[in-house]
Amino acid sequence: MNETPKPTPMQTPFEDVLNRTLSRIPSEIGRMIYLASTRDYNSGIYQHDGLASRFSAADAGAALKQAHCAVFQELAAFSLEELVGDLNRYIENSDEPRPEFLRAWRTLEPYRVAIPLTADPTMAQLLLSNIRIALEVLRIRQKRAEAHRSDAWQLPSPAQ
Amino acid sequence: MIAFFGCIGVAVLLFVLLFFLGSGSGMDERDLGDLEIADTREASCPSEVVKQIFSARDLQFVAREASPPLQHFFIGERRRVAIGWIRRTSLDLRIAMREHVRMAREKEDIDAATEVRVLLQYLRLRCLCGLLLASAMVVRPSGLRELAVYASELFRRLDPAHSLLPGPERASSRRLHSTR
């Protein structure tokens, strides 16, 4: 039978992950969560059908792992201010209302499973701690914004 | 006389700290999780990360938020990370020294002067770790930046000369502390 020939890859699997997929995700945290989601919970192996069809399963897995480690290192090097901005962007691009998002992340800590298996423990601990602090910063800002809105609602207008 | 007893007191304090530092690492591992480190572990914590843990930049950012509970939370979190790093460094140091002793036993031509120098460097780093640990419990981590960076650099410098820090063995024998 006639088999459809595979298109010749114009770029490496790693470049493919960066250019096709990660460039569409607007935040580093979003990228780390996405890459962690391609990792099998039981085996720790990265899988991506689209990428595997263009290259091979092994190459695709290696590229995803490399990208995951790179994104993790970048995030771990963020200052707290940068991380708060990045997390804010991630929340803005999610479909969840901000208070629900913050509550879920503070309670469930889903970001804990997004750390690469080979990460340096100190770097991992620092990043997770920074995410907890960033969530707290955003929660306090959210509370202040709500209080501000409530005050503005109760204040009499200048005409009264 | 007072100075003499002061020195004795400091020595006893450091000894006690080293004891707790040694016994604390096991507890820390249980506390941090049970992920076993793989052989594929990347290079150990870079100096930049140590600088970041003990940096004042993030504290200044948190201070601008003008929320004392947030500031308190931040300091607690950063202190936990700092103590984790100190304990891991101390653990790495003990593993490296154990490995060095094992290798020295197998050697036939031991240079006594080198061994004494390695032992002194080891003790100096253990004391530094003890001092850092004690200080991290009472002082904000940002106040310990210089000392922490110095300890980190010293730890790295031990490697090539005396094979005190065997690379692959170290990576495979350590445990990955997860976090918190």
Contacts of B169 (CB under 8 A, 6+ apart): B99
Task: Tell whether A64 is covered by a domain.
Answer: yes
Task: Tell whether A2 is covered by a domain.
Answer: no
**Interchain CB distance below 8 Å, B53 and A121:** no
Distance (Å, rounded) from C-alpha A62 to C-alpha A55? Answer: 11
Task: Tell whether A144 is covered by a domain.
Answer: yes
Can you read off the two tokens belonging to residue A129? 């701690």
Asked whether residue B51 carries a pLDDT value surpassing 90, the answer given is: yes
Task: Tell whether A159 is covered by a domain.
Answer: no
**Interchain CB distance below 8 Å, A133 and B62:** yes
| pLDDT interval class at B140 (50, 70, 90) | very high
Task: Tell whether A109 is covered by a domain.
Answer: yes
Answer with the residue of higher pLDDT: B138 or B32. B138
Q: SS3 helix, strand, coil % of chain B, rounded to 5?
A: 80, 0, 20
Sort out which chain A residues have CB atoms less than 8 A from B170's CB and list them.
none
pTM (global) more than 0.90: no
pLDDT in tens, B81-130: 999 999 999 999 999 899 888 988 888 888 888 888 889 989 999 999 99
Asked whether residue B25 carries a pLDDT value surpassing 50, the answer given is: no
pLDDT in tens, A89-130: 999 999 899 999 999 999 999 999 999 999 999 999 999 999
Can you read off the two tokens belonging to residue B88? 């891991």
Sort out which chain A residues have CB atoms less than 8 A from B49's CB and list them.
76-77, 120, 122-123, 126
Distance (Å, rounded) from C-alpha B176 to C-alpha A118? Answer: 9
Q: Report the sign of the C-alpha dihedral through residues B71, A82, A76, B122, in that order.
A: negative
- Highest mean pLDDT: which range of A68-82, A140-154, B6-20: A68-82
B38 → chain A, closest CA residue: A118
Task: Tell whether A65 is covered by a domain.
Answer: yes
pLDDT of residue B1: 55
A134, A101, A95, A114: which is closest to A37 by C-alpha? A114
Task: Tell whether A1 is covered by a domain.
Answer: no
Sort out which chain A residues have CB atoms less than 8 A from B41's CB and list them.
118, 120
**Interchain CB distance below 8 Å, B178 and A124:** yes
Q: How many domains does chain A divide into?
A: 1
Task: Tell whether A5 is covered by a domain.
Answer: no
Q: Helix, strand or coil for residue A39?
A: strand
